[in-house]
Amino acid sequence: MSIETKASGAAAAADKAEQPRFSWLRPHPIFVIILVGPDEQPFGIQKDFLCYRSAFYQTFFAENQTEDTVEHVVKLPDTTPEIYGLTQNFLFTGKVMSDEEGVPPYDSLIGLWNLGHKLGIDGLCDKTLEAMTECRRLTERIPAAPLLVQVWRETPEGSSIRMLLLSWAAEYMRLSDSRAEFAKSLPQEVLSELVVAMSSFELATPAQAASASPVVSAPELPKKNVHYLEDQSEEDVNNTRKNRRTSGPPAVVVKTDQSAGRKGSRTPLPKPQKRRSSAAYVDSLNFSTSQKLEFCADLLTRMLSGPGFWTRLVGPFRDPVEPAEDGVPDYLDKVKRPMDLTTIKSKMDRHEYASDEDFVVDMRQIFQNCYTYWKKGDPMWLAAEKLQKTFEDKFSHMNKWISKMGGEEGE
């Protein structure tokens, strides 16, 4: 049976139930097998102890009385073994962090807070927030925007984890040079709360701010199991800008001194020199290898330094995978030809590509590596699909782009 089928009032009912007595001096022969995740990884725990620590399971078993058996089976299909392992460690030790494992990453801690809240495990949410604060101190980073959005989608309004992350995000918006890009990556409902928080966020002096909290740098790129935002395409961004001009200002506007400089720093495409016939859009033989490579170089530059939707798409594929740091120690055992956008950019700058086909081979190697290592449906798999779809669409317009540049040079 799945706990997801239980009524949402289970936690409230648990408050009325009499708190069970528990002592390790007594026998506890009945076990609960908890099948965790879609692969149903089994974890075992004494039923009496589980009910003693979890308000949810106390109510669950009170409402599902069965004949005494040695073993009960329940399921947590939406939880990962890593997150439940952290939960079970807390149940037995009262600790989220262990000396052997260190501080868990932000994505695991957010999942841990959610599970602690859902199961009504006293003290787990508070301990999780303490671990998140320690994670920030050690990494000098706050959770990336996709994780912030995940919290807003999965946690109750006004919850302790929301308030903590809201204060961190407000501080980041006050202090970081990347605040404009950070704001663009947040949906309107999160940005609205953030602006309200910023209005009450007081910083007396830069010196006091530095002494009151850890250094805040750009949000970290999450590990390879991060959930990504629903990114806008370049066309969607342009349409949004047009709609804003016709329908008035948005509900919340975040102004920064960086925005003007960022727009001015992007090199515009050359203006078309002359019109070409429609045949030039189709017949690639009209264009030289150098013209095609120029297009590839321009596309690559826009991917690495272009507008916000590119920034979010290329994030985990920008730099080489670091197996230890990224939490994928067996990556190089499965992926025999690693590839990333920074490596491709270096090869392009060194003129190592003999043709546009060579460039595309390396680009598609990035996607193939992702599909090789990750399972279909995993967040990283979906992120690769999004980037590949956008890349293939942009690359398909190569002939049109060259023709607009006035290209008539033959092979």
Per-residue pLDDT of the chain (411 residues; tens, 9 = 90+): 444 434 444 444 444 445 557 888 888 888 999 999 999 999 999 999 999 999 999 898 888 776 667 788 999 999 999 999 999 999 999 998 776 567 888 999 999 999 999 999 999 999 999 999 988 888 888 888 888 888 888 888 889 998 899 888 888 877 777 777 777 778 887 887 777 776 655 443 333 333 334 434 444 433 433 323 333 444 444 443 444 344 443 333 333 333 333 333 333 433 444 444 444 344 445 688 888 999 999 888 888 875 556 777 888 898 999 988 888 889 999 999 999 999 999 999 999 999 999 999 999 999 999 999 998 888 889 989 999 998 998 899 888 888 776 554 444
Q: Quick one: 32 and 74 in the same domain?
A: yes
- 194 in a structural domain: yes
Domain count, the chain: 3
- 257 in a structural domain: no
- 249 in a structural domain: no
Cα(159)–Cα(157) distance, integer angstroms: 6
* Residue 172, token pair as written in the block: 């980041």
Report CA 182 to chain centroid distance, whole Å.
13
Q: Quick one: 33 and 96 in the same domain?
A: yes
- CATH number (domain holding residue 105): 3.30.710.10
pLDDT at residue 200, rounded to an integer: 57
Q: Quick one: 309 and 393 in the same domain?
A: yes
Q: Which of 201, 221, 237 is the last residue of a domain?
A: 201
Contact 43, 88 (CB under 8 A): yes
Q: Which of 153, 181, 201 is the last residue of a domain?
A: 201
pLDDT at residue 4, rounded to an integer: 42
Give the C-alpha distances (Å, rounded to integers) separating 1 from 87, 118, 156, 354.
20, 17, 25, 59
- 266 in a structural domain: no
Q: Quick one: 170 and 99 in the same domain?
A: no
Strand ranges, E, within 61-177:
71-76
pTM exceeds 0.75: no
Contact 112, 36 (CB under 8 A): no
Q: Quick one: 133 and 87 in the same domain?
A: yes
Print the domain residue range for 353. 289-406
Residue 407, burial from CB neighbour count under 10 angstroms (0-12, 13-18, 19+): buried
DSSP states along 5-22: GS-TTHHHHHHHSPPPP-
By C-alpha distance, which of 302, 315, 401 is closest to 366? 315
Residue 381, burial from CB neighbour count under 10 angstroms (0-12, 13-18, 19+): middle
Tokens 């491709």 -> residue: 344
- 279 in a structural domain: no
Give the C-alpha distances (Å, rounded to integers) separating 37 from 2, 41, 249.
11, 6, 44
- 208 in a structural domain: no
